[in-house]
Amino acid sequence: MQLRVFATVGALAIVIGWLGVAVSGQAPAGYTAPRTPWGDPDIQGLFTTDDELGVPFERPAAMGTRQTVTDAEFADREAQAARQAATDAEEFIAPPAAPAGRAGGRGGNPEGGGGVGPPNHWLERGKPSRRTSIVIDPPDGRIPFLNAEAQKRSTVAVNARTSGQKPYDGPEALDLYDRCITRGLPHVIFPTIYNNTSQIVQGPGYVAIRYEMIHDTRVIPIGSGPHIASSMKQYVGDSRGHWDGDTLVVESQNFSDKTNYRGSGATLRTVERFTRVGKDRIDFQVTVNDPHTFVRPWTAALPMVTSEGPIYEYACHEANVGLYDILEVARDEEKAAAKRK
């Protein structure tokens, strides 16, 4: 009888994990990851993080160390998802006519929007999750900032695109995401409203990861080779991987301060872990460390679930029409302010 109870509890724990509650980074008992022809664990495929979009990155303080929401809170999430789906499906306002010689309306979107958002077929909302936060360590699900100044840097870095913090003096004043150059690491793995697919491809001695958002691609050498010289900075850092059992561990450093992950710059270090926990899922964890920004390293995690794909072309704002509009509006506001003086 006891064995039957333990077996039932174990099976229930696995089911809960597959419902998006637990991201343990460990495969269920009895599961063995497939192997490539050269013997490495096979983690290849197309994966999406859509279902994590509604999960707060940091846990609301009132939830303490709770890792899952209550049934009532989950019902609220389902209701909110239904309301959002209805809003997405509403007819979008037609954009204003484009000036002669320029494509599209505001933001260069020829399909509509009129300033209210993208058409609903662009969006990838996913399913509601019971998880309380993407951050899993510290136990309270909160980023352990070094001090108030570090937290302010993070807030500005995360919200600069929408908070009016940017001066908009010229194209270089906008961040690399605005300019369709890169979303940066590890930003790019966390879901936004669309383009949440990643493709993992392996070859002997290498793993490549292509991200749908802006089509960043990382080619990661596997083995004990050293990192490149510390004087050489890269947008997504310099990555080196190795296998820890069936888990791919990727250590990255030499980040450019231009990508500025949550207030971190060139002193950022990350350790990622990719573990296949079933035919259709990889558990992903990333530990972030920067002693100039955080009291201690902290870890975020989410499941990567098999996606049918494909990864479509990421054209961003063609001919930089969106960037043109941003700078044009800034100049118009400056002229209006000068007239008011």
Q: Answer yes or no: pTM beyond 0.95.
A: no
User: Tell me, what's the pLDDT at 110?
Assistant: 32
Q: Compute the average pLDDT of residues 244-268.
A: 92
In the structure encoding, which two tokens stand for residue 187, read together? 């930003």
pLDDT at 99 over 60: no
For residue 8, pLDDT over 80 is answered with: no
Q: What pLDDT digit, counting tens, does each position of 72-97 carry?
A: 999 999 998 888 878 777 655 545 55
Residue closest to 57 by CA, chosen among 228, 302, 231, 247? 302
Helix residue ranges per DSSP H, 110-175: 148-163
Confidence of residue 166 (pLDDT cuts 50, 70, 90): low
Residue 31, CA atoms < 13 Å, CB-side half-sphere: 17
Length, in residues, of the chain? 341
The pLDDT assigned to 19 comes to: 46
> Which of 96-100, 197-201, 326-330 has the weakest average pLDDT?
96-100
pLDDT at 160: 59
Residue with more model confidence, 14 or 225: 225
**What's the mean pLDDT when you consider all of the chain?**
83
Mean pLDDT of 293-313: 92
Res. 212: pLDDT tops 80: yes
CA distances from 38 to 47, 203, 221, 276, 297 (A): 23, 9, 15, 17, 34
The predicted structure's pLDDT at residue 96: 52
Question: Looking at the DSSP assignment, which residues form a beta bridge with residue 252?
Answer: 239, 270
Give the pLDDT of residue 341: 81
Q: Looking at residue 30, what is its pLDDT?
A: 85
Q: Give tens-digit pLDDT for 266-298.
A: 899 999 999 999 999 999 999 999 999 999 999
Q: Is 262 left (phi over 0), alpha (psi -120 to 50) or beta?
A: left
Region of 26 on the Ramachandran plot (φ > 0 left; ψ -120 to 50 alpha; else beta): beta
Q: How many CA atoms lie within 13 A of 70 on its CB side?
A: 3
Separation between Cα atoms, residue 33 and residue 277, nearest integer Å: 7
Distance between alpha carbon 41 and the CA centroid of its chain, in Å? 24
Of 165, 112, 146, nearest to 289 (Cα)?
146
Q: Kindly tell me if the per-residue pLDDT of 21 is higher than 70.
A: no
Q: What pLDDT score was predicted for residue 163? A: 47
